[in-house]
Structure 1
Amino acid sequence: MAIPDDRRYHREHTWAKVDGDTARIGITAFAQEQLGEIIFVDLPKAGERITKDTPFGTVESAKTVSDLYAPLSGTVSLVNERLNDELEAINESPYEDGWMIVVTLDDPNEAASLLSADEYEQEIADA
């Protein structure tokens, strides 16, 4: 799967698509491929704060439970409710329909510290 170049990437396999002072966040195709079929996600609720580089939730597959690391800091403004009934959206469309949360950012410039698509591609190639 191609790595979209319209977003930034965390080394722990989450992405952030920044638009002004908000960011849509999800897991990468690489992460969902490593996990396999996702059977449960635990996400924060709207109004909760997340902090860059710390877990904001978990994702569970038949293989394992993994922490979801926040690529940026801010307050959750929206949670993808579709995932309550359609977890397969994460496996089938991790960069579009399978997004997880939208965050109002503390500092939109924080995104500059994340990896570009090319840098992330190199990171996973070396894994």
Structure 2
Amino acid sequence: MTTKFTTDHEWINIEDHDAAVVGITLHAQDALGDVVFVDLPAVGTSYKKGDIAGVVESVKAAADLYMPVSGEVVEVNEALRNDPALANSDPLGEGWFFKVKIADMTEFDQLMDAPGYDALLKTL
């Protein structure tokens, strides 16, 4: 299992060869506060790296969810749609947002690893 991070505070985790799981980081959920709504992408939709793939709304703010890599959305987390608070209670687990079939693995390889992301957080 390989997890990478974006400067926009999304994580992407390759669990198997079929799809990668995408969610928001602990830092993102902490900055947002209590998540009350998520707008998830439609299954079958293809995005380019950096495209807006959804929205996360909290009691404090709304934030765009950016696609960490180019690819096609193959599954969304319906449990999160029904209970957006999962993004707060378990952002790195049950609070995942969607799964994507990666179009270009070099984009994944260029994302930050955990030490790189931790270094980024120290600059904020």
TM range (shorter): over 0.9
Identity %: 37
* CA shift digits 1:35-69 (9 cap, x unpaired): 00001111111101122112111100111111111
Q: Give the number of equivalent residue pairs.
A: 123
Matched, 1:107 2:97: no
Which structure 2 residue ranges, 5 or more long, are not aligned? none
- Which of 5, 19, 22 is residue 19 of structure 2 equivalent to? 22
Equivalent runs, 1:4-83 vs 2, <5 Å = 6-18=2-14, 19-83=16-80
AA aligned to 2:9 is: H
Residues in 2 aligned to 1:117 and 1:92: alpha-carbon distance in whole angstroms: 20
Equivalent runs, 1:111-126 vs 2, <5 Å = 111-126=108-123
Preserved CA contact (<8 Å) 1:21 1:108: no
Residues in 2 aligned to 1:20 and 1:10: alpha-carbon distance in whole angstroms: 21
The structure, 1 or 2, with the larger RCO (C-alpha pairs under 8 Å, 6+ apart) is: 1
SS of equivalent to 1:7: strand
RMSD: 1.3
Deviation at 1:21, TM superposition (A): 4.7
Alignment match, 1:86: 83
SS of equivalent to 1:34: helix
AA aligned to 1:119 is: G
Preserved CA contact (<8 Å) 2:39 2:81: no
Residues in 2 aligned to 1:54 and 1:78: alpha-carbon distance in whole angstroms: 17
Deviation at 1:85, TM superposition (A): 1.8
Residues in 2 aligned to 1:43 and 1:91: alpha-carbon distance in whole angstroms: 16
Which structure 1 residue ranges, 5 or more long, are not aligned? none
Residues in 1 aligned to 2:64 and 2:114: alpha-carbon distance in whole angstroms: 22
Residues in 2 aligned to 1:84 and 1:57: alpha-carbon distance in whole angstroms: 12
Residues in 2 aligned to 1:103 and 1:80: alpha-carbon distance in whole angstroms: 12
TM-score for the superposition, normalised by structure 2: 0.94
